Structure 1
Amino acid sequence: MHARADLIQAPRAARRYRNLLLDAGFHDVTVEVPTAVFTDATMLPMLSGMAEAAREAGAIAGEQAAAWIADQEERPRSGRTFLALPLFVAAGRRE
């Protein structure tokens, strides 16, 4: 996961949403975390990218990445895919 996060410019920005809004002068700041659930192959490119990033970072061997990706490719065919993706949404009011 860390190898994948390192590919993103600010991978932990969502954790700071509330404080960023407060620091910018917003009031009544709220944060919600709706979660998207995927049970098909929609997110397969993201999952494959995570395995490739881990391989490139040296966290896993190429064979391990290939086996994990193959497993993820099989899951939609057998109805066994489950991916929950939280989405952070922050809102506030500024006078």
Structure 2
Amino acid sequence: MRYPIEQVSDNWERRIIKNGYVQHREVYRNGTHGEWQFYISGFGPTVEGGTGRCTVLKEGGSYDRTVPIDADNRIKINGRWYDRRYWDH
């Protein structure tokens, strides 16, 4: 599914995906762009098995504080795991 893209500055774009999660990406001078990334504002304790929780930005400035993060630094959003290149802190 494609989501509407908002130009937030000369070199940044933003989109809101399923369940209100915000993603952003950098736009370079040559017209190419970086990966869509989620913004993680904080991390909770790691529990047994190496899985913990992190806090991810959502639409309207709210946060989801229950997003799983595993020992390989992957976060799980909308049932899908995203590795480190798809989130920023």
Instruction: Using structure 2 for the length normalisation, give the TM-score.
Output: 0.22
Instruction: Using structure 1 for the length normalisation, give the TM-score.
Output: 0.22
* Structure showing greater Rg: 1
Bigger proportion of residues as strand: 2
Structure with the bigger RCO (C-alpha within 8 Å, sep 6+) is 1
